[in-house]
Amino acid sequence: MKVQFSERALAYLKAEQAYLGRFDKRAARALVRQIRKVAEIIGEYPQSAQAVPMLPGVRRYVSAPYVIDYTEKGGVIVVVAIRHGRQNPIAPDQGDDLPDQFEVQ
């Protein structure tokens, strides 16, 4: 299944990559590889992650230290939020646009 990232998730990923890149370029590249791998997994096995009871239709995939929330819209997996596991969760905005720049098929 195709995987796309909401504007919020993509913004977080870019900010985290920039932050890590200031200290360790390899860590920044590893972050992107890690998130791409998660996208491949949830695209192939969308029901594999735990459902989030407080957010109907949202599933949560943990790839330490990151937490990835996603939903399915019209046959497309949409990553609605990414955060570091030590950060407080934010309810994903279901109205986010879907950018075409970052997707896995």
Average pLDDT for 52-75? 94
Q: Would 26 be classed as within a structural domain?
A: yes
Q: Would 55 be classed as within a structural domain?
A: yes
Q: Would 66 be classed as within a structural domain?
A: yes
| Domain extent for 77 | 3-91
Q: How many domains does the chain have?
A: 1
pTM of model > 0.85: no
Q: Would 100 be classed as within a structural domain?
A: no
Q: Which two tokens stand for residue 71?
A: 């939903």
Average pLDDT for 18-24? 96
pLDDT above 50 (res 38): yes
What angle do helix axes 25-44 and 7-23 make, rounded to 10 degrees?
Answer: 150
One-letter identity of residue 90: I
Sheet of 3-5, strands arranged across? 50-51, 59-63, 66-73, 76-84, 3-5, 103-104
pLDDT above 80 (res 105): no
CATH number at residue 29: 3.30.2310.20
